[in-house]
Structure 1
Amino acid sequence: MILRRIVYAFVLLLAVLVMNFALIHLAPGDPVETLVGEMGGATPEFIEQMRAAYGLDQPFYIQLATYLGRVAQGDFGFSLYFNRPVLELMFHRIGPTILLVVTAVLIALTLGTFLGVLAAQRRNSWLSHLVTVFSLVGYSTPVFWVGIMLILVFSVALPIFPIAGMYQSDTSATGLAFLLEVLHHLILPAMTLALIYLAFYTRLSRASMIDVLDSDYVRTARAKGLKNYLVIYKHALRNAILPVVTFAGLQFGQVLSGAVLVETVFGWPGLGTLAYDSILRRDTPTLLAILFFSASLVIVVNMVTDIVYRYIDPRMRAEQ
């Protein structure tokens, strides 16, 4: 079972590589002309030399075959704009992005599930209606607008948090002091990214919990005289959280795409900012590597989600 999924994952990654390469090369514009324009111009001979140096003068199928061969060897090429190995660029940007995304997902999952369970227990109260309104407003609000509003409130009007960056450029902090400084810079970007998905997980967990609380085995547990918190958090929540876990894995790709906007708004030095710069400058090798990494991460998270789902739901283990 696991081996078959790994084979499917490799086939899917190969398809992603081919499609990304084809779509980027079909897009209008020339990376060399973009680079030369930022340099102030160049002679036609120099432009042709640069195209030959990067292999852009070859037919499409030769470029594709060459690229796939290099990726198979772990070589993603050189950045056209930064003139550095792509893996070296990504190595310095992966950590901040993973920190931002994981923090936002944990906040959204934990707080969203808690609010959903709380609202499900009081389904006709003002709290339940407040959660519903919050979910609708939060899920329909653009993530970049939320980020800008948080900056205006908590960085401009109330200067509590820094506006941009991961730490102060002139910082000399080390150890715990440096960690606290990074966390201080992380709060606003993580909350911005988490608020959108927090609203969705709250709504989903509330609806799922209401269905579970009306089931026969929950009524049986109550009839046995079990305490309410045991009924809720030991019996009901374990089944109610299954749709939340499933959607968390399926939406991981959307969280990564939302991180691009959040990193751009807050100047967070992650892969999202690097992807934005690469798109503006037509830095094809860097953009292809970022897309490949994002696709790999989404596939791995989906596989982990499936394993966790089987662990949580005993019926899946029985079928297995």
Structure 2
Amino acid sequence: MLATIGRRLFLAVPILLVVTLVTFLLVDLSPGDPAALLAGDNASPERVEEVRGQLGLDQSMWDRLASYFTGLLHGDFGRSLFSGQSVGAAITEALPVTLSLTLVAFVLVFLIAIPLGTMAAARRDGIADRIVSACASFFIGVPPFVAGLLLVIAFALMMPLFPATAYVPLSEAGPNVWLSHLMLPGLALALPSAAEVARQLRGALVDVLEQDFIRTQRAKGLSSLLVLAKHGLKNAAPPVLTVAGLQLGRMLGGAVIVEQVFAMPGFGMLAYNSVVQHDYPIIQGVVLVSALAVIVVNILTDVLESMINPRLRSVI
């Protein structure tokens, strides 16, 4: 297993190199001049050129690309063009917020999806199944920022149960306050993914419950609940875990907008501000870390699937 993980991580290196190269080229070719923004609206052309030289933007694209890769080999992601802060330090400050949000959202996905998907499969073609399927189809199409705005109106303004904005670190306020600030953004981020996972779980369980070994277990006198919990969910888990892993990557991307709605100083806020300011080093660092996160999530998903279903170990 460790050899497999090591091989997958080794194969991820060229992917990260390609992502880094493409990101650098796209950012470099994008419209906008950070030197002009940093120099100010009324700056003279000479002043803009002076700032461009200070930032190193007067060098050719290939020279800057070589310098950037050299820095990466030494663990240096560069510095922000505007604040001068190290890119690594900026990401380190913002990442815990996004990881907290994604963790809460991911837990909510399973707390919502598993009961609803299981109930829909157990009562196939019944009223509960139709309601769950209809709700899943609806929430899959609801963007997280729309769900976030509706949740703020319902549970922060009309019924003030949770804070509407901001983020409080766990180390400063304790778990209750920390979780209360993450409930609404976490739920907004989780709803579309929970709908997808519930739908996939329902379909996988329906297929499993029609297998011969399930009929055999029932013929032995086992209750439907025990058969469903012990055999149904276990055999339906691998494809659902695959979908959940994909949804985790989707939630990391959706955090960019959700953090804007709830004014959370996380990874998404950092990415948004860097794009608005044309802060090239921050953009490149954000994309690189995001790509690495998706690769790690995919590897962990495959490992979990192989632990649940040993037949997949030879494939992975």
Shorter chain as normaliser: what TM range?
Answer: over 0.9
CA shift in 2, pair 1:61/1:274, >3 Å = same
Cross-structure match for 1:158: 159
Cross-structure match for 1:70: 71
Separation (CA, whole Å) in 2 of partners of 1:181 and 1:66: 44
User: What SS does the aligned partner of 1:251 have?
Assistant: helix
CA shift in 2, pair 1:319/1:101, >3 Å = closer
Aligned length: 313
Separation (CA, whole Å) in 2 of partners of 1:174 and 1:99: 12
Q: Does 2:27 match 1:24?
A: yes
User: What SS does the aligned partner of 2:313 have?
Assistant: helix
Partner AA of 1:152 in structure 2: I
Pairs within 5 Å for 1:23-42: 23-37=26-40, 40-42=41-43
Cross-structure match for 1:103: 104
Partner AA of 1:84 in structure 2: Q
- Residue 229 of structure 1: how far off its partner (Å): 2.7
Separation (CA, whole Å) in 2 of partners of 1:167 and 1:187: 12
Runs of 4+ off more than 3 Å: 317-320
**Cα pair 2:200 2:243 within 8 Å, conserved:** no
- CA offsets, 1:14-66, max 9 Å, x none? 111001111111111111112223xx432323322221222211111111111
Cross-structure match for 1:299: 295
Cross-structure match for 1:238: 234
- Residue of structure 1 aligned with 2:210, choices 195, 214, 220: 214
Cross-structure match for 2:5: 2
- Residue of structure 2 aligned with 1:256, choices 228, 252, 256: 252
CA-based RMSD of the aligned residues comes to 1.8
CA shift in 2, pair 1:319/1:292, >3 Å = closer
Sequence identity (%)? 39
Partner AA of 1:43 in structure 2: S
**TM-score normalised by the chain length of structure 1:** 0.93
Q: Does 2:90 match 1:94?
A: no
User: What SS does the aligned partner of 2:46 have?
Assistant: helix
**Cα pair 2:39 2:51 within 8 Å, conserved:** no
CA shift in 2, pair 1:292/1:174, >3 Å = closer
Pairs within 5 Å for 1:36-55: 36-37=39-40, 40-55=41-56
- Structure 1 unaligned residues grouped into runs of 5+: none
Partner AA of 2:74 in structure 1: Q
Cross-structure match for 1:147: 148
Separation (CA, whole Å) in 2 of partners of 1:91 and 1:245: 28
**Cα pair 2:249 2:297 within 8 Å, conserved:** no
Separation (CA, whole Å) in 1 of partners of 2:191 and 2:29: 36
- Residue 318 of structure 1: how far off its partner (Å): 6.0
Cross-structure match for 1:135: 136
